[in-house]
């Protein structure tokens, strides 16, 4: 399975991500988006923190399965998202 010309590393993992994303959208959960630093796929994250909240996580892209670190800082308006590319797969 390919997404925009990128081979999906795990169809099962991608399907779980797509189901999660659909549930968030149906529920009206605020989302922010960013690109995977490895493959450029559009990814989404919950964006409903309080001003001053910072969320950090190490993530695997649901498309290419490569790792990155994501830091989200909630302020006025859209959250600031900082992505650090890691050089390992999961």
pLDDT tens by residue, 34-68:
999 999 999 999 988 888 889 999 999 999 999 99
| CA–CA distance, 62 with 18 (Å, rounded to integer) | 9
| Domain regions of the chain by residue span | 2-89
Q: Which two tokens stand for residue 81?
A: 């998202």
- pLDDT of 89 > 70? The answer is no
Q: Which two tokens stand for residue 54?
A: 């910072």
Total-model pTM: 0.85
> DSSP for 44-69?
EEE--PPTT-EEEEEEE-TTT-EEEE
Q: What percent of the chain has pLDDT over 70?
A: 97
């Amino acid at each position: 399975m390919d997404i925009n010309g990128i081979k999906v590393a795990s169809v099962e993992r991608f399907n779980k991500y797509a189901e999660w994303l659909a549930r968030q959208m149906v529920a009206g959960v605020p989302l922010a988006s960013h690109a995977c630093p490895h493959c450029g796929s559009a990814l989404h994250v919950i964006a409903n923190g309080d001003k001053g909240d910072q969320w950090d996580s190490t993530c695997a892209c649901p498309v290419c399965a490569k790792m990155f670190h994501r830091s989200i800082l909630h302020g006025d308006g859209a959250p600031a998202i900082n992505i650090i590319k890691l050089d390992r797969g999961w």
